[in-house]
Amino acid sequence: MSRLVKLSSNAFYVKGRVNIGVVKIEGKLLLIDTGLDDDSARRALNLLKGLEGRLEAVINTHSHADHIGGNSFVARRTGVPIYAPEGEIPFIQNPLLEPALLYGGYPPPPLTKKLFMAKPSKARPLTSLEIGGLEIHRLPGHSPDMIGIAVGDVFYIADAVFPEGIVKKHKILYGFDPERMAESLRTLMRTDYKIYLPSHGSPTGEIEELIDLNLAAIENVKNKVLAVLEEGAKSTQTLIGDVLEGLGLKYEDPGMYMLNASALKGYLSWLTRNGKIICFVEKNIVMWALK
């Protein structure tokens, strides 16, 4: 059951599988993300009735479907503008780009479900939002141009950090670019807020430990890729299969496999950029090997 949780005098959130932030500034209400679908957006709008003030705008932290899935409902119901970081706007306006990015081509049906593909909505650049009192922190990596938003002592950190349960269960933390994910985690480590709210998890004042856990998970996957290549050159598919096996992961759903395979390809790019591995084509198969 969704409920509105108070974090400070002007910061709240709708607790759910994906938390939706609610901020009150000078009597104006802002939503941070809109959840997975119409239902999550409807619940959030209903809960706003318990607060004084009018909804002025939505800010999307990034364009993943579970964060923007309620955009079209909120826009239709309230007519408020939706703001987003510039690099995320194409994905919000043309949601087919997200599964296309994950797949590397026109996506098959397992990737066009609502978990991976939201309904389209219009978004404006966040730089054009004229409301004071918000601090925008750039936290790219998990998605190309993700942001976090701080209001007073409360920092909404989107998907920059995953809670312990998710880290232990999933092992691969989905991200577009793991190198920049790690950089953003280190950026976060240098901040000092009283309360941090990850989109998937509970508010915490002790973010350092969680950041270390997330950094260790990224390092673990990177090392697993290198360990698998110690055995010799491998094709992309074999390499991904061996890394998943080594991490003890098994997917029944092709969509979940493709999501994690896409994340692992980000590691291959990172290691290639750093000169640790190389790729080449052999008998029409892309191969990866230690340099």
Interaction site with Zn ion (CB under 5 A)? 64, 159
User: How far is 184 from 174, CA to CA, in rounded Å?
Assistant: 14
Q: Which is nearer to Zn ion, 38 or 159 (CB)?
A: 159
CA distance 233 to 147: 37
Minimum gap (Å) between residue 18 Cβ and Zn ion: 9
For Zn ion, the closer CB: 55 or 115: 115
Long-range contacts of 186-192 (CB under 8 A, 24+ apart): 186/211, 186/215, 187/137, 187/138, 187/139, 188/137, 188/139, 188/148, 188/157, 188/160, 188/161, 191/137, 191/150, 191/155
Nearest-angstrom CA–CA distance, 92 and 106: 17
Q: Which residue is nearest to Zn ion (CB)?
A: 64
Provide, rounded to whole angstroms, the least separation between the CB of residue 64 and Zn ion: 3
CB 190 to Zn ion: min, Å: 22
Q: In terms of CB distance, is 30 or 147 closer to Zn ion?
A: 147
Q: Which is nearer to Zn ion, 139 or 277 (CB)?
A: 139
Q: What six digits make up the tokens of 93?
A: 């306006």
Instruction: Give backbone dihedrals phi and psi of 111, rounded to 5 degrees, phi first.
Output: -100, 0
Taking the C-alpha atoms of residue 216 and residue 161, their distance in angstroms, rounded to an integer, is 12
Rounded-to-integer distance, Cα 76 and Cα 22, Å: 19
- Smallest distance from Zn ion to CB 143, Å: 6
Q: How far is the CB of 255 from Zn ion (least distance, A)?
A: 15
Q: How far is CA 9 from the centre of its chain?
A: 27
Q: What is the CA radius of gyration of the chain?
A: 20
Closer to Zn ion by Cβ: residue 210 or 228: 210
Minimal distance, residue 33 CB to Zn ion, in Å: 9
Cα(40)–Cα(2) distance, integer angstroms: 9
CB nearer to Zn ion: give 33 or 56: 33
